[in-house]
Chain A
Amino acid sequence: MEYFVQQLINGITLGSIYGLIAIGYTMVFGIIGMVNFAHGDVFMVSAFIALIAYLIVTAWLGIASVALDLIAVLIVAMAFTSLVNWVIERVAYRPLRGSFRLAPLISAIGMSIFLSNFVQVSQGPRNKSIPPMVQGEFVLSKTHDFPVTLSYKQLIIWGITALLLLAFWYLVAKTSLGRAQRACEQDRKMAALLGVDVDRTISMTFVIAAALAAVAGTMYLMYYGVVTFSDGFVPGVKAFTAAVLGGIGSLPGAVVGGILIGLIETFWSAYFSIDYKDVAAFSVLAITLIFLPQGLFGRPDVEKV
């Protein structure tokens, strides 16, 4: 039982990170109908930006307060990753909007290869590990030999995820930007005719997606303390799985899907086989798409004759 609770805590933490990335997939798919293949690599880039920002604030500026460090790193990572994704959309996707359907997909694959190799060339192929940013934990129960713990960093991840989801929900549901976004999702041409600046709305979608990925990247770095240039692909696919599982296009779906994937992966590793944990994730992806393509919260796709 204790083991189970501990895995539950770990799974939700991992799932929060996936959920934040998954929102990026779901938003971009919702608005321009493309799987942004490079999104996993944007997440990886953000983890590197966070790593460098962390080294600057701790080693160079010598700020000792953990809270200040974390906030500074988070803001820097969000700002620069947003810029990266804004440029990606501008350079690699916008010229292809409304063109041949495969072109943006190939362009996104190219961008994904470019980003991971850019980081490899510019930062070197080795694993980058940092000493733990946040230490300490709550011991929740200590029966038997197995203590159930909730570490501070897990708590921070939960807290920040919840806070950001709230802010993000407000943005989408209550602001004019969110309204423009939902209008573009329904019918881009009509939205443009009614005066919505479609280009700007799509750009903002990429910026928001990147900011959330940057939060995930920072959390990932803080949680694992290590990052490498190839860390974009597998978390990217898992987050995409989460988006599909929740129903692509559905924002709460992405979060729920993320947590589900986190839990599936954690429990699979804990109870079955850690070697096959990625096989489990990919299988969930395939099974969901084949048997439940509309996901948990998505609208069913009816074939028009």
Chain B
Amino acid sequence: MAAGAHTGRVDMAGALRSAGFTGVVAFGLFLPLIAFKTDVDGSNQLVLTTRWPLFLALVAVCSASRFFYALLVGPWLARRALRPARPRPAWRNTIANWLVPCGIGFLVLYPAIVFFTAGFSGGQKWIDNLGVQILIYVMLGWGLNIVVGLAGLLDLGYVAFYAVGAYSYALLAKTFGLSFWLLLPLAGILSSFWGVLLGFPVLRLRGDYLAIVTLAFGEIIRLILINWVALTNGYAGIISIPRPTFFGIPFTAGDDGFAAVFGLPFSPLYRITFLYYLILALALITCFVTVRLRRLPIGRAWEALREDEIACRSLGINTTNTKLTAFALGAMFAGFAGSFFAAREAFISPESFTFIESATILSIVVLGGMGSQIGVVIAAIVMIGGTELLRELDFLKDVFGPTFDPTQYRMLLFGFALVAIMIWRPRGLIATREPSVFLKERKTISAEMVKEGRG
């Protein structure tokens, strides 16, 4: 570490030294996999090609950024740390108070805003790819927040319940022709049943062990979906799943379709807008129920469980039931989201329910700040919206050439962002806790007090 970082003075020699060291490390790091590339040639043989310019450029970039960090950013951070903390300005409280109503208002008006700014045909992707996509993850994040954020139980297999919901809807709708509105609650119930079933054996486990077992369960369910071809059609997935209807009126081009019934010209936009409001409603219900539960004995018991399980038991709380309700409720919301997902896509396959999905949802919860509802929204917008926006960066083709495809780097950047955000804010964006009840004054509880749970 450069001496300048501690004193806040500019230390050129130290910066050069650390830049040189970083350069050497980057040289070694990138030498095998960047400088050399393996390609399959015409005769199906592996051949090596080299990419020295790219390699040297990367090493130079690493070294230069370290140099500037040591020279400028490090001392600046050190100076900032020495400055006394300023009290929270009043305008930030005002913003915080208005954030929720304004946010909900924006979400309700979002389709109108999009149509107004991007036009009817251009707006479609903004609603479907961005709006609906983010809201699905917001809903999943809120659902998992019950398990991880409130009850402190680390679940790495949450996507399994999402899959149960999706496959329940797909199979029951295709086999029995039942409607979406009947199957939505049914899928939720089936998922929560699986939540209890999988939750029961793992209740004794704590910490990372619980995480790993839930991961194993998630993978087992996915592998069964792949291999039980007779039921699930394996890798190929289930196609032409019935779409949801507008209280019985389908969104089709026919005479009994939504457009014809209301005397409008046919357009897929009605369906997309309808789906947007559907997932918005489902997500808001999830949020409403969670916020409500936090103020009920069960919610307080979850948080108490996260704080100290043994103390809970000494107060007569049945921790088994308390944990199982958390699992069941979290799974139920995932089941709702899953059946929505299947209805929206009209196609599902095990590929949509990989471990990466669980990791994404968990990271949204942790990045948002465990237990914080607003944090989940912000984290979902940043992580999902951010990576979705990569599709829009066509101008990069002008910089890096026409073969450059920014979407290729989506997961690479996602992984990098996870590490970076954790180092920047290990406790997430909103780490403070709002008490569920107060006598005189609602005081926000600082992150250092709040426990993270052992399970």
Bound pair (A, B)? yes
- Whether B207 sits at the interface, judged by CB under 8 Å, is yes
Report chain B residues within 8 Å CB of A87. 25, 29
Q: Is the CB of B310 within 8 A of A305?
A: yes
With A52-B36, A52-B48, A244-B212 given, is the CB distance from A282 to B363 under 8 Å?
A: no
- Whether A60 sits at the interface, judged by CB under 8 Å, is yes
- Using CB atoms, name the residue of chain A closest to B310: A305
| Partner pick for B208 among A35, A233, A237, CB 8 A cutoff | A35
Q: Which A residues are closer than 8 A to B by beta carbons?
A: 34-35, 45, 48-49, 51-53, 55-56, 59-60, 76, 80, 83-84, 87, 91-92, 95-96, 99-107, 109-115, 117-124, 126, 128-130, 233, 237, 240, 244, 275-276, 278-279, 282-283, 285-286, 289-290, 293, 303, 305
Shortest beta-carbon distance, B19 to chain A, in Å? Answer: 16
Report chain B residues within 8 Å CB of A59. 47-48
Report chain A residues within 8 Å CB of B202. 289-290
Report chain A residues within 8 Å CB of B37. 122-124
Instruction: Give the CA-CA distance A95 to B77 in the complex, in Å.
Output: 15
Q: Is the CB of A114 within 8 A of B419?
A: yes
Instruction: Give the CA-CA distance A271 to B213 in the complex, in Å.
Output: 26
- Using CB atoms, name the residue of chain B closest to A83: B28
Q: Which B residues are closer than 8 A to A by beta carbons?
A: 25, 28-29, 31-34, 36-40, 46-48, 154, 201-202, 204-205, 207-209, 211-213, 215-217, 219-220, 223-224, 227, 310, 355-356, 359, 362-363, 366-367, 370, 408-409, 411-412, 414-419, 422-423, 426-427, 452
Shortest beta-carbon distance, B225 to chain A, in Å? Answer: 11
Q: Is the CB of A285 within 8 A of B415?
A: no
With A117-B411, A285-B216 given, is the CB distance from A35 to B211 under 8 Å?
A: yes
> How would you classify the secondary structure of chain B's contact residues: helix, strand, loop or mixed?
helix
Instruction: Give the CA-CA distance A51 to B40 in the complex, in Å.
Output: 13
With A52-B48, A56-B48, A92-B423 given, is the CB distance from A106 to B33 under 8 Å?
A: no
Q: Is the CB of B415 within 8 A of A117?
A: yes
| Partner pick for A101 among B207, B209, B212, B363, CB 8 A cutoff | B207
Q: Which of B417, B419, B452 has the most CB of A within 10 A?
A: B419
Instruction: Give the CA-CA distance A165 to B219 in the complex, in Å.
Output: 31
With A114-B415, A279-B223, A305-B310 given, is the CB distance from A52 to B32 under 8 Å?
A: yes
Instruction: Give the CA-CA distance A60 to B38 in the complex, in Å.
Output: 13
With A35-B208, A110-B418 given, is the CB distance from A95 to B223 under 8 Å?
A: no
With A106-B418, A121-B408, A282-B220 given, is the CB distance from A289 to B213 under 8 Å?
A: yes
